[in-house]
Amino acid sequence: MKKSLIALAVLAASGAAMAQSSVTLFGIVDTNVGYVDNANAAGDSVYGLGTGGNATSRLGFRGVEDLGGGLKAGFHLEGEIFGDNGNSSGLNFQRRSTLSLMGGFGEVRLGRDQVAGYSKTRSYDLFGQNTGIGQFMGWSAWGDATTDANGHRKSNLISYYTPNFSGFTGGISYGFDEQTTGKAGRYIGGNVAYDNGPLSVALSYDRANLNAGVERDKVTLGGSYNFGVAKAIAILQQTKDDVPAAAERKVNAYALGVSAPVGAGEVKLQYALYDQKAIDSKAHQFSLGYVHNLSKRTAVYGTVAYLQNKDRSNLGLAAKGVNTSGPGADENQTGVQVGIRHSF
């Protein structure tokens, strides 16, 4: 009888512990039909099935355990999926693979993740960072072949994010280079932000060590204001590369945009300027899009973007899954995407 009571007590205790833990499977599948003219310097056009035109397709697992006393532990594993080819190279967790401790002090994360110099200021892009031909391309590799040169994510990262202090938040990240010599892969950066009602503004700074001794500094100021009938955004950014025994490389990038609800959807208009100081050339990008919500989890969308290169500028639109490159120096490029997005 005593053994039965002890067993019941153990089961009850384990059930209570399990009730304090949760694991969630989540994801997004976003697939579109896309077309880009002047997809290369020869002037050829390309069309086909692409992915991530409105939101990056992904599959992930996350979980939280209540440790008591206001302390929680959590994990987050997330990888990109490709609806156009079914992940021919296999699924990985390159988007995020972190372990966290959370409490009244904020959150500490360990692992591969978005860097703090990107995680907040990226949110002001109306078309979503790393998603589709309309996106603001200030966070680009800018000709550097180093892994993660675009500054979105880093491996071997430690990050700390503060709690919310009456609308004020902040974060800082440090990435190890894990080398006996050299600094390639090292990262440090952070952000401070203020969100209060319709107003949101954030400032971020980071330094990344790239290959060949190049040090990249990036400063980004972003903000938005929701007027109710429309929301306006602005992004000002400078990327500066200190190149050993060579001239400094600098890119100033700017974005202005407005979005407005229309029925069950949203219309978006955004302009971006990429002033490439190193080659004394500019590029202008105009993006127009509409997202129509069929339900809380499913939407259809359409985006058209036009990129005007000047002088030696040779930028190309980001049409993921439909292979494109720069149209050639001083040449223009137009792209169209029509797709569907479903989240679960």
Q: Is residue 178 included in any domain, yes or no?
A: yes
Q: Indicate the number of domains in the chain.
A: 1
Q: Is residue 311 included in any domain, yes or no?
A: yes
Q: Is residue 110 included in any domain, yes or no?
A: yes
pLDDT of residue 7: 44
Q: Is residue 10 included in any domain, yes or no?
A: no
Q: Along the 344 residues of the chain, how does pLDDT read in single tens digits?
A: 444 444 444 444 444 444 458 899 999 999 999 999 999 999 999 999 999 999 999 999 999 999 999 999 999 999 999 999 999 889 999 999 999 999 999 999 999 999 999 999 999 999 999 999 999 999 999 999 999 999 999 999 999 999 999 999 999 999 999 999 999 999 999 999 999 999 999 999 999 999 999 999 999 999 999 999 999 999 999 999 999 999 999 999 999 999 999 999 999 999 999 999 999 999 999 999 999 999 999 999 999 999 999 999 999 999 998 888 899 999 999 999 999 999 99
pLDDT of residue 291: 98
Q: Is residue 15 included in any domain, yes or no?
A: no
Owning domain of residue 187:
26-343
Q: Is residue 270 included in any domain, yes or no?
A: yes
Long-range interactions of 80-84: CB distance < 8 A, separation 24+? 80/52, 80/56, 81/27, 81/29, 81/51, 81/57, 82/51, 82/57, 82/321, 83/29, 83/30, 83/31, 83/49, 83/51, 83/57, 84/31, 84/48, 84/49, 84/50, 84/51, 84/321
pLDDT of residue 192: 98
Q: Kindly write down the DSSP assignment for every residue of 80-149, as one continuous string.
A: E--TTTT-TT-----SEEEEEEEETTEEEEEEEEE-HHHHTGGGG-TT-TTSSTTS--SSS-TT--STTT
CATH number, domain at 300? 2.40.160.10
pLDDT of residue 272: 98
3-class state of residue 176 by DSSP: coil
